[in-house]
Structure 1
Amino acid sequence: MLVADQSTCLERLALFRARLQRLFEAWKAKPLSVPENQFPGELLNALRTTGAFDALFATEDNGLGLCQTPEGAQILMMLLRKVGYLSLSLGRCLEGHVNVVRLVELYGTRFQRHALKLQLKNGSLAGIWVTDGSSPVTIRRKGPNYTLSGIKGFASGIRQVGVALITAMPQHGEALMVLAPTTDFERHRPGPGTLTGMQASGTGAYDFTGLQISSDDIIGSSGDYLRQPEFSAGAWRGSAVALGGMDHLIDLLRQELLERERAGSPHQLTRIGEALILQKTAAMWVHEAAQAAYSAYMRPEDVTSIINLARLAVEQAALDLITLVQRSLGLAAFIKGKAVEQIMRDLATYLRQPAPDEALTEAAAWFVHHDWPEAGQ
């Protein structure tokens, strides 16, 4: 990239960051007042109007490269964190949308990248649905095209998602990534049941049985979805969303203690100080993970290990914060209908990611034998 081009891109990123900041300040002053099981569509539309979704694409596709460059990643981190503050459910769906754009940018063709952008022009979300439901999703060749069969469960944002990146097993080889339309409401199936938190994400299941696709809908090659370091590296984005939830909990904690005139209590001050330490610790880990994910110098194992440790550090910080808030506010933290109670449930649900022990031991095993790398080395 030429110096002049890079300077222009940085200026555009700075302007976009300022627009986002104004949007979030306005929404922070106007907390969401919708039922906790209702998707925050108004906030989604506000983000789209601000240009947040177009900005995800590469600069050659008239975007700002939020999914491609270290500079863009810093703005993406802010976007995910702020959305997580306002709505963890929307944060989950936005992170999935970002994941789809990122994977198509990495493994798709120029034609597929352009096709994805066109598919999202109508304002729908992209979803990434990889967990199989009652029957695993398979893909079989049928003449010049392919036929899908099976159900994807835990399909977040099922009513808002217009196209989903799913994994499908062929007759031979590893799973393939497929971009499939998801606009047929008759294919909707019941989800896993009513979750304790994250109800606004609208998790359901989708039946792909009999859906015809072409070779242009297959992204990359067999096994690309699980290819490292990208498979693990994307976890930093979920940690950024969780960090936003932590930010909101701390604001609510301080607000309630001030209203009760209990903020000056030495015991409450101790808890507030501990909460701020947890918040800052999580923020530093997210920043480190984002740098690693876009580093051009680190070994894949370094990237994977750092981001796995970051994911677990943020999880532990958030769980410790929830305990502090409950101790500080007492039974008031458990009153249904209060924002603090809902956010704690949403955050606890959001943090339940698979195989945490495996991620921890694998990262530890790597760093037993290797020094911690710097992002620029």
Structure 2
Amino acid sequence: MDQRTPPTISFDAPAAARRIAAQAAARAAALDCDGSFPLEDVRALAGSGLLAALVPSSAGGAGLGEEPRFRKLADVLRRVGYGNLALGRLYEGHVNALQIIARYGTPDQQRSLFGDATDGHLFGVWNTEPKPDGLTFSQSGEGLSLTGRKAFASGAGFVTRALVTARPSAGGAPMMLVVPLDAGTRADLSSWRALGMRASATGTVDFTGLEVEAGAVIGGPDDYHCQPFFSGGAWRFAAVQLGGIEAVFDVWRRHIRIGGRGGDPHQLARLGEGAIAIESGRHWVERAAGIVADDSLPPDRIVAFVNLARVAVERAGLDVLQLSQRSVGLEGFLAGHPLERLSRDLAVYLRQPAPDRALHLAAAEILDGPEEAGELWRP
């Protein structure tokens, strides 16, 4: 693929994701250590065209995620998550950043940043801040000077185009900026000692003293939190989670088959319950992706459905974890068994912000809806 030439609409993104997922799964065990990062897998994403696949069709790209290709994006995210949840988390952040740029960027910004994606730059979206050291910016000559840090930044030290939220030092609503970063700089991974997702290179990034051009600002004040796009985008991480759930399910299924335990009715019953959970999660992810892409429901109704979807996928993941661990038994908790690592990664990645609030808000929207139950999600 020529440099700065994005893949075209005919690009088979799911097939590319399947190949990369297989490679990532083979490498995942070796990456299960603090401070690691799936560098070869990210390079494979770039080489396959998947980092550039989000370039809109209007800009000559594959337009992955656009209507009617949103199902392909859901499939790609699921497949990448199946191969390695840490890689899936990084890719989902890259997708999020490029979709924000496509929505809010100026033509010049889009031309430059989509070119960066085509050249293999990894994007990320970082909004969490350690208190009181949140990120701010101030005018400095013709550019902007940054002060402060971001926390829980996945891909820290490896993301070279960071879309961050920052407040003007003089006060006001947060803005979005795309900040170019050099690999291996400004990142501190020492605080990420998590049970799972150890290869996600999650850490703190210090932007203090960094200066960027005024054109780094994307969109207007508080556009980042604009609904339904802010909460509606949660279907993407749910798609990655679904891939991780399927990976756990397949390891569990293989364990039963190899161990000759398929004749046990209790094992089969648990496996059947797991299959129901997965298919339920798949329905929610695909329907949520479609509702967001269609954008014909009121914003609060779109957000409500996606909130239900993320809770349903979390529940499916917790069910499959419990069922698989009960079926496999103690062996599945021993280092070296594939279920042990996959379970840790999934348990950590299922922990997304404010699930109770998401369910509460969705239920409140449903309660106030005048429609019959079967019409709640129809335009």
TM-score (norm 1): 0.91
5+ residue gaps in structure 2? 1-7
Task: State the match for 2:51 in structure 1.
Answer: 53
* Residue 169 (structure 1) aligned with residue 167 (structure 2): yes
Structure 2 distance, partners of 1:18, 1:185, is: 31
Q: Deviations over 1:304-342 (max 9, x none)?
A: 000011001100110111000111011011011221111
TM-aligned CA deviation for residue 22 of structure 1: 5.8
Task: State the match for 2:232 in structure 1.
Answer: 233
Q: Deviations over 1:65-86 (max 9, x none)?
A: 113x222211111110000000
Q: Deviations over 1:226-257 (max 9, x none)?
A: 11100101100000000000111111011001
Task: State the match for 2:153 in structure 1.
Answer: 155
* Residue 334 (structure 1) aligned with residue 333 (structure 2): yes
TM-aligned CA deviation for residue 44 of structure 1: 2.2
Q: Please tell me whether the aligned partners of residues 81 and 243 of structure 1 are also in contact (alpha carbons under 8 angstroms).
A: yes
Task: State the match for 1:279 in structure 2.
Answer: 278
Structure 2 distance, partners of 1:13, 1:59, is: 7
TM-aligned CA deviation for residue 97 of structure 1: 0.3
Q: Deviations over 1:201-225 (max 9, x none)?
A: 1112111111112221000001100
Identity %, equivalent residues: 38
TM-aligned CA deviation for residue 196 of structure 1: 0.7
Task: State the match for 1:8 in structure 2.
Answer: none
Q: Please tell me whether the aligned partners of residues 18 and 79 of structure 2 are also in contact (alpha carbons under 8 angstroms).
A: no
Q: Please tell me whether the aligned partners of residues 77 and 240 of structure 1 are also in contact (alpha carbons under 8 angstroms).
A: yes
Q: Please tell me whether the aligned partners of residues 303 and 362 of structure 2 are also in contact (alpha carbons under 8 angstroms).
A: yes
Q: Deviations over 1:252-273 (max 9, x none)?
A: 0110011111122000000000
- What is the DSSP-based 3-state SS (H/G/I as helix, E as strand, rest coil) of the residue aligned with 1:172? coil
Question: One-letter code of the match for 1:47?
Answer: L
Question: One-letter code of the match for 1:158?
Answer: A
Q: Give the length in aligned residue pairs.
A: 365
Task: State the match for 1:207 in structure 2.
Answer: 206
Q: Please tell me whether the aligned partners of residues 235 and 308 of structure 1 are also in contact (alpha carbons under 8 angstroms).
A: yes
- What is the DSSP-based 3-state SS (H/G/I as helix, E as strand, rest coil) of the residue aligned with 2:124? strand
TM-aligned CA deviation for residue 352 of structure 1: 0.8
Q: Please tell me whether the aligned partners of residues 78 and 240 of structure 2 are also in contact (alpha carbons under 8 angstroms).
A: yes
> Which among 16, 23, 34 is matched to residue 20 of structure 1?
16
Task: State the match for 1:35 in structure 2.
Answer: 31
Structure 2 distance, partners of 1:29, 1:164, is: 26
Question: One-letter code of the match for 2:291?
Answer: A
Question: One-letter code of the match for 1:117?
Answer: F
Task: State the match for 1:3 in structure 2.
Answer: none
Q: Please tell me whether the aligned partners of residues 180 and 217 of structure 1 are also in contact (alpha carbons under 8 angstroms).
A: yes
Q: Please tell me whether the aligned partners of residues 102 and 110 of structure 2 are also in contact (alpha carbons under 8 angstroms).
A: yes
Question: One-letter code of the match for 1:133?
Answer: P
CA distance 1:132–1:312, change in 2 (3 Å) = same
TM-aligned CA deviation for residue 122 of structure 1: 4.0
TM-score (norm 2): 0.91
* Residue 78 (structure 1) aligned with residue 81 (structure 2): no
CA distance 1:29–1:307, change in 2 (3 Å) = closer
Task: State the match for 1:362 in structure 2.
Answer: 361
Structure 2 distance, partners of 1:276, 1:63, is: 36
Q: Please tell me whether the aligned partners of residues 282 and 313 of structure 1 are also in contact (alpha carbons under 8 angstroms).
A: yes
Structure 1 distance, partners of 2:84, 2:22, is: 14
* Equivalence map 1:254-269=2 (5 Å): 254-269=253-268
Q: Deviations over 1:99-147 (max 9, x none)?
A: 0000011111111111112333442310111111351111112332221
TM-aligned CA deviation for residue 192 of structure 1: 2.8
TM-aligned CA deviation for residue 184 of structure 1: 6.0
Q: Please tell me whether the aligned partners of residues 100 and 126 of structure 1 are also in contact (alpha carbons under 8 angstroms).
A: yes
* Residue 138 (structure 1) aligned with residue 136 (structure 2): yes
Task: State the match for 2:3 in structure 1.
Answer: none
Structure 2 distance, partners of 1:25, 1:212, is: 37
Q: Please tell me whether the aligned partners of residues 19 and 50 of structure 1 are also in contact (alpha carbons under 8 angstroms).
A: no
Q: Please tell me whether the aligned partners of residues 295 and 375 of structure 1 are also in contact (alpha carbons under 8 angstroms).
A: no
Structure 2 distance, partners of 1:88, 1:283, is: 17
Structure 2 distance, partners of 1:33, 1:257, is: 21
Q: Please tell me whether the aligned partners of residues 34 and 40 of structure 1 are also in contact (alpha carbons under 8 angstroms).
A: no
CA distance 1:14–1:275, change in 2 (3 Å) = farther
* Residue 94 (structure 1) aligned with residue 88 (structure 2): no
Structure 2 distance, partners of 1:52, 1:61, is: 16
- What is the DSSP-based 3-state SS (H/G/I as helix, E as strand, rest coil) of the residue aligned with 2:53? helix
Task: State the match for 1:6 in structure 2.
Answer: none
Task: State the match for 2:311 in structure 1.
Answer: 312
CA distance 1:191–1:33, change in 2 (3 Å) = closer
Structure 1 distance, partners of 2:44, 2:192, is: 30
Task: State the match for 2:287 in structure 1.
Answer: 288
Q: Please tell me whether the aligned partners of residues 158 and 183 of structure 2 are also in contact (alpha carbons under 8 angstroms).
A: no
Q: Deviations over 1:141-199 (max 9, x none)?
A: 23322211001111111132101001101123211001112216442224433111000
- What is the DSSP-based 3-state SS (H/G/I as helix, E as strand, rest coil) of the residue aligned with 2:196? coil
Q: Deviations over 1:28-79 (max 9, x none)?
A: 8956452313322222222222221221110122211113x22221111111
